[in-house]
Amino acid sequence: MLIHSVFFWLRKDITSAERALFDSEVRRLAQISYLERGYVGIPAPTESRPVTDHSFDYSAALHFKSIEDHDFYQAKCPDHTRFVAACKPLWERVVIYDTAPFA
């Protein structure tokens, strides 16, 4: 399995319609049929501590069954291609953490 965790910081000047577009499109990523699991959300209202970062606007955690599924997603998945084409102009920063869980 591979967990693809993506954190998005949206541009501050996007319109409410653009934010709604991003929200809709990022949620669609969690529904990709070959994912083991997919989650999308916003920062949780947890206590602010020195080790927490609530500065992002959205995150996605996509659990792929294999690295091959992840690689297909990155290079050839039409859902991912559509998302990037529609939403890349809306973010100012993206940070990705790919994790290979211990068995």
Q: Which of 68, 9, 59 is CA-nearest to residue 29?
A: 59
Q: Helices 78-87 and 16-29 meet at what angle, rounded to 10? A: 160
**Site of tokens 């211990």:** 102
CATH class for the region spanning 2-43+56-99: alpha beta
Helices (H), the chain: 16-29, 67-76, 78-87
> Residue 66 — φ and ψ, nearest 5°?
-155, 165
**Which pLDDT band holds residue 5 (cuts at 50, 70, 90)?**
very high
The dihedral built from the CA positions of residue 18, 20, 26 and 29, taken in this order, carries a sign that is: negative
Please list the residues that pair with 38 across neighbouring strands.
62
pLDDT digits (tens, 9 = 90+) for 30-71: 999 999 999 999 999 999 999 999 999 999 999 999 999 999
This prediction has a pTM of 0.95
Strand stretches in 15-57, DSSP E: 35-41
